[in-house]
Amino acid sequence: MMEVKAIRGMNDILPDEAMRWRFVEDTTRRIFSLYGFAELRPPVMERTDLFLRGIGDETDVVEKQMYTFTDKGGESVTLRPEATACVLRAVIEHGLLGKDPIAKLYTLGPMFRYERPQKGRYRQFHQINAERLGEDGPLADAETLAMAYDLASSILGREALLMEVNSLGCKACRPAFTAALKDFLESRQDRLCADCRRRMHTNPLRVLDCKVESCREAVQDAPLMDALLCESCREHHGMVLAGLDALGVRYEQNPRLVRGLDYYTRTTFEITATGLGSQNAVAGGGRYDDLLSILGGPAVGGIGFAFGMERMIMLMGERQETASGCFVVAQGRPDIEREALAFMAELRTAGIRAEAAFGRSFKAQMRRADKAGYPLCVILGEDEVKTATLTVRDMRKASQVKVNRAAVLEEITSMLADDKGERA
């Protein structure tokens, strides 16, 4: 029989990686809640129209990458390629901004894009996504960028990170920039790739982001948005940067930074990391002042970002969260095993993780205790039963003590606390 394999670009997260995923998720929840964000969990599938309206039909995501199909009821549905449109749809549908004019929401989960899989680029990938709605001032932008920076640096450290910031202008000043850019691109069209010759008319900003070498060279001295920002966008941008300075965020201004989705206005940013090769964007986001109204909601602005979780986890490297708790080894006699089992229940009641592998040789059980990475091993044999003691072995120091049965829980708790202190 032929083996059934996973779909290309869609990966299993195996138990030995799950620890790192949990670490990233826990850190995210901790940091985001410090900023007053709450969780919202939209479904993974939406009506296709949401993404056509929300992301822009001239984007690569909508043009080429959506998992779209007709369901059994004849409706066109799409596995979400990103979360922003979904979160905004939920906010509008449930009237959340009517209940509170400010919404700060985050969501974690899988996204789907039909891209060519490679290191750091998958067809099912996971995002940490945050959206902040109802605050239009520049300090909301600065604080949101700081939250992204906080998360990135807590997990990856500051050294490997670069945060780049730009302003893409607004409805008032962007058209002049788009027109100037179109003129410029038309004068160089013979040097552009086929995609960009088309995009030049439909979505000229995307040409600035093309990875084809000849296009990159052709746009070297293209006009830049910062020269054409209107007074109000310029002021907003200046205050965002001042806010970032006040918050101690390290960033660089990159006037060439554009984003792959169409909804951005004003502040946009990306966080890249060394060590990922060509797929080096760990996070990206920005302000979107028109998206809520485009999706049928109130005319208020928002700002948000998303991290690619696979990329973060890859960068964390081999960092392993060591298991805490006790492995229990018992001599193979039914009454001793029963006693060991009862002792494990006692450990768990005290909040201490406990595992065993009864029914194997003593040596095999010890080998497993070692491999599982437990700092302590509790041994229960004939001698221990006779003397009402337990042997507690410190696996890292390779030393052991016999402890009175009545005092053993206290001893284990204190040894585990010491172990944690030593590792911190």
Residues that bind ligand HAM (rule: CB under 6 A) add up to a total of: 25
Choose the stretch contacting ligand HAM; rule: CB under 6 A; options: 138-146, 196-204, 302-310, 337-345.
Answer: 302-310
8 Å CB contact between 208 and 219 = yes
DSSP strand pairing (103-112 vs 38-39)? parallel
C-alpha–C-alpha distance, residues 320 and 110, integer Å: 23
Q: Which of 306, 328, 356, 395 binds ligand HAM (CB under 6 A)?
A: 306
What is the sign, positive or negative, of the torsion defined by CA atoms of 168, 59, 293, 31? negative
C-alpha–C-alpha distance, residues 217 and 228, integer Å: 22
Judged by CB, which is closer to ligand HAM: 84, or 167?
A: 84
Q: Which of 129, 166, 265, 267 binds ligand HAM (CB under 6 A)?
A: 129
Q: Which of 134, 284, 301, 325 binds ligand HAM (CB under 6 A)?
A: 284
Q: Which of 127, 144, 203, 365 binds ligand HAM (CB under 6 A)?
A: 127
- Binding pattern for the stretch 62-91 against ligand HAM, x by CB under 6 A and - elsewhere: --------------------xxx-------
Q: How many CA atoms lie within 13 A of 351 on its CB side?
A: 4
In 10 A of CB 102, how many CB atoms? 13
Choose the stretch contacting ligand HAM; rule: CB under 6 A; options: 17-25, 37-45, 46-54, 115-123.
Answer: 115-123
Judged by CB, which is closer to ligand HAM: 288, or 343?
A: 288
E strands along 96-189, which residues?
103-112, 124-133, 161-167
Judged by CB, which is closer to ligand HAM: 173, or 303?
A: 303
Judged by CB, which is closer to ligand HAM: 206, or 393?
A: 206
Choose the stretch contacting ligand HAM; rule: CB under 6 A; options: 66-74, 95-103, 245-253, 303-311.
Answer: 303-311
| Shortest CB 304 distance to ligand HAM, Å | 3
Q: Which of 121, 197, 234, 405 binds ligand HAM (CB under 6 A)?
A: 121
C-alpha–C-alpha distance, residues 117 and 127, integer Å: 17
Cβ partners under 8 Å of residue 399, min gap 6: 393
Q: Which of 260, 298, 373, 381 binds ligand HAM (CB under 6 A)?
A: 260
| Shortest CB 250 distance to ligand HAM, Å | 18
Q: At what angle do helices 138-156 and 15-34 cross, to 10 degrees?
A: 150
When CB distances to ligand HAM are compared, the closest residue is 308
Judged by CB, which is closer to ligand HAM: 84, or 166?
A: 84
8 Å CB contact between 122 and 10 = yes
| Shortest CB 393 distance to ligand HAM, Å | 43
Phi/psi at 35 (5° precision) = -95, 5
8 Å CB contact between 318 and 111 = no
E strands along 51-102, which residues?
67-70, 76-79
Regarding 197 and contact with ligand HAM (CB under 6 A), the answer is no
Judged by CB, which is closer to ligand HAM: 121, or 405?
A: 121
Find tokens 């004019």 and name the residue: 101
Regarding 131 and contact with ligand HAM (CB under 6 A), the answer is yes
Supply 148's token pair.
Answer: 């992204």
Q: Which of 282, 295, 315, 403 binds ligand HAM (CB under 6 A)?
A: 282
C-alpha–C-alpha distance, residues 31 and 139, integer Å: 18
C-alpha–C-alpha distance, residues 315 and 334, integer Å: 47
Cβ partners under 8 Å of residue 370, min gap 6: 395
Supply 51's token pair.
Answer: 């993404």
Bridge partners (DSSP) listed for residue 394: 376, 399
| Shortest CB 235 distance to ligand HAM, Å | 22
Q: Which of 310, 328, 384, 412 binds ligand HAM (CB under 6 A)?
A: 310
Regarding 281 and contact with ligand HAM (CB under 6 A), the answer is yes
Regarding 122 and contact with ligand HAM (CB under 6 A), the answer is yes
Regarding 304 and contact with ligand HAM (CB under 6 A), the answer is yes
Judged by CB, which is closer to ligand HAM: 200, or 312?
A: 312
Find tokens 């696979």 and name the residue: 310
Q: Which residues of 304-326 are buried (b: 16+ CB within 10 A; e: fewer)?
A: bbbbbbbbbbbbbeeeeeeebbb
Q: Which of 51, 311, 330, 343 binds ligand HAM (CB under 6 A)?
A: 311
Element (H, E) at 391: strand 389-394
Regarding 115 and contact with ligand HAM (CB under 6 A), the answer is yes
Interacting residues with ligand HAM (CB under 6 A): 82-84, 113, 115, 121-122, 125, 127, 129, 131, 260-261, 281-286, 304-306, 308, 310-311
